[in-house]
Homo-oligomer: A and B are copies of this chain.
Amino acid sequence: MGISDMIARFITEMLEEANGIAELQRAELAARFNCVPSQINYVISTRFSPEHGYIVESRRGGGGYIRIKRVKGPQKQRIMHIVNAIGNQIDTASASAFVTNAYNSGLISRNVAKLIMAAVSDNALRPLQGEQRDEVRANLLKHLLIYTNS
């Protein structure tokens, strides 16, 4: 097992101990595993992506941190099923279908469903066109679905 796997396991343990929310310091973690700090980013982007059921927030500067949240609750399977069914690009019609699906499954409230629809609408993504718009839409949709369930 390589270093990346050990770091991933460590983070997973943190998440389990802290009810699905782990806050870490990149430099400290890197020091602990004797690797360069950017390897932490590598681990996060390859193993803690929305597709894996995680959302990540971070802050730079003094007092900075990286916070990793895991999708939780009894609906975990269903939300991951939906998120993984969303490809790398998606149009409004399909996005709408997924959001409706999530709403009908009780994963998100009516208001959140509407807000997410507003966020992934063509109008909201106006500056973009074609494939790029569908790509951002897919990313945004996954992100928001995981976010509201973590």
B118 and A139 contacting across the interface, CB-CB below 8 Å: no
Residues of B within 8 A of A56 (CB): 123
A101 interface residue (CB < 8 Å to B): no
Q: How far is the CA of A56 from the CA of B124 in the complex (A)?
A: 10
- 29 example contacts (A-B, Cβ-Cβ < 8 A) are as follows A2-B62, A5-B63, A55-B123, A56-B123, A57-B121, A115-B115, A115-B144, A115-B147, A115-B148, A118-B143, A118-B144, A118-B147, A119-B140, A121-B143, A123-B143, A124-B139, A124-B140, A124-B143, A124-B144, A125-B140, A126-B139, A127-B132, A127-B135, A127-B136, A127-B139, A128-B128, A128-B132, A128-B136, A136-B136
